[in-house]
Amino acid sequence: MGEFALLNSIYEASKELGEHVSIGPGDDMGEIIVGNQRILLAVDQLIVGRHVELDETPENIGRKAIARSFSDIAAMCGTPICSLMTACMPTDTDDDWAMRVFSSAKAHAERWNGPIIGGDIATSQRGPAMFTVTVMAKPSTLGAVSRCGAQVGDVVCVTGEIGNSIASHHITFEPRITLAQDIQQALGSDLHSMIDISDGLAQDASHLTNDECSIQLNTETIPLREGASPDTALSDGEDYELLFTCATPPDVDDVTVIGTVVPRASASVVNENGDDVSMKGWEHT
């Protein structure tokens, strides 16, 4: 079973979660209600050799482990509160290497205003080093922005540049927390759905569609990172930019309109020629 088939099975089995859960599995973050407060939570993992090269510096490994989860906060237009980090490392891991990973993770979590407040460490005889980061955030006064609100007639927008993230961007990206908040403030209720791009532009766009609508992308308008083409930009992944739908484009810098939301077609995401591009992307498993 592939990553997305497994996730869909989990979502189907997780629909009845009680009155304290206001957003369940299937979005960038879940949301719970504690008293009169809403709290957003997400967890993500980084596997050395899968999400970063085996010879990547420990500083970059710690940074990316934190940044991946903080990008989920951006996708919900939240504000970081704190984070937790766990590590499972081979028994022969060098202590200095491990401390350099943690020091970098700690510094970046604090820089992005979500300090690490706890975690756990384990060792394993087999397998690569793995780091898991759980984040907590608070939604804005306008509320968390989910993936599921796209409406026919919306424009589809993206932040930054897309494609060829493997060159360096997947290591150096900044979670778009402030930009997401600016977009929500500019649009208010006209901001209908949002996701961060990790699995590929086209594949992640499919997560914004529903039974009533599809997304039609104009690939020639995609803002390309150096070394990318319109075709590779659809599938490269690891961009960690924001993809969102809204009634009108926001008056915010670093945002490009790349498509429209149309009545439901046979495919969830198509290009300007009507070709199905919804499965262009990659799986993290």
pLDDT bracket for residue 129 (50, 70, 90) = very high
pLDDT digits (tens, 9 = 90+) for 205-221: 999 999 999 999 999 99
**150 falls within a domain:** no
My answer on whether 40 and 113 are in the same domain is: yes
> Of 138, 169, 186, which marks where a domain is finished?
138
My answer on whether 99 and 167 are in the same domain is: no
Q: List the domain range (segments joined by +) for residue 256.
A: 155-270
pLDDT of residue 14: 58
User: Cβ distance 240 to 170 under 8 Å?
Assistant: yes
Give the domain CATH number at 39. 3.30.1330.10
Q: Which residue has the higher pLDDT, 183 or 283?
A: 183
User: Half-sphere exposure of 47 toward its Cβ, with a 13 Å CA cutoff?
Assistant: 6
User: Cβ distance 178 to 112 under 8 Å?
Assistant: no
My answer on whether 166 and 98 are in the same domain is: no
* pTM, 2 dp: 0.92
pLDDT digits (tens, 9 = 90+) for 243-279: 999 999 999 999 999 999 999 988 999 999 999 999 8
My answer on whether 29 and 108 are in the same domain is: yes
**127 falls within a domain:** yes
- Structural domains of the chain, count: 2
Q: DSSP code of 80?
A: E
My answer on whether 78 and 176 are in the same domain is: no
E-strand spans in 76-115? 79-90
My answer on whether 116 and 28 are in the same domain is: yes
pLDDT digits (tens, 9 = 90+) for 58-83: 999 999 999 999 999 999 999 999 99
Give the domain CATH number at 196. 3.90.650.10
Quick check: 284 pLDDT over 70? no
Quick check: 281 pLDDT over 80? no
**206 falls within a domain:** yes
My answer on whether 205 and 178 are in the same domain is: yes
User: Cβ distance 99 to 159 under 8 Å?
Assistant: no
Average pLDDT over residues 77-92: 97
- Alpha carbon dihedral 150, 155, 159, 163, in 10-degree steps, equals 90
